[in-house]
Chain A
């Protein structure tokens, strides 16, 4: 069974960089695309972007200027960096495996942007 686990700081100051890592078990990260999404409290899901094992990326146009994703196949991990954060970036962040749709998800990690 594929499992994903997000990790990273739960509190980030405004204007700083949000950094999260997703660790994958039960599957090689060398296959598929790996995705980040987020969900503000009480709102819908927003796709942030995806990365392949080769490091090919696609980002949401609305976040593209602030997002960087990376992957470490030796550790079976992929990461998200979102810079210049504001309170609007406060959300539950999820990582997931993309198989066109999203078939396996992490449990999510809450990131709050506040001074």
Chain B
């Protein structure tokens, strides 16, 4: 099973700042990597797939990069609705696996 490791566990930031979240795979997953946003009490929402393609309706301030084992999610000019938990997920191998999540909280 591919282990996905996200860092940091928590990020404390102010609105308007830029944040970068990291996700590392224990073995290469090519570009088969997705990012999800999960607000409290809600289901995850697909943000990015194919490591860098924004899903329908996702604002341009969200961007993804990377391939192989190292990936990043960048959020430019953080808005109030962006404070949430972010999960990465690989769909290269079975079983599908997720990282433990990075919580972006208000500083």
> Which residues of A pack against B, CB within 8 Å?
43-47, 58, 60-62, 94, 100-103, 105-108
Contact = CB atoms under 8 A, between A and B. Distances in A.
Contact of A45 (B32, B45, B98): B98
A107 B34 contact: no
Contact of B43 (A44, A47, A106): A106
Interface of B: 1, 32, 34, 36, 42-46, 49, 55, 87, 89, 91, 94-101
Nearest to B91: A100
Chain B binding surface, main DSSP class = loop
A44 B98 contact: yes
Given A44-B87, A47-B95, A101-B34, A107 B101 contact: no
Contacts of A46: 98
B46 A61 contact: no
Contacts of A105: 43-45
Contacts of B99: 44
Contacts of A107: 42-43
B87 A47 contact: no
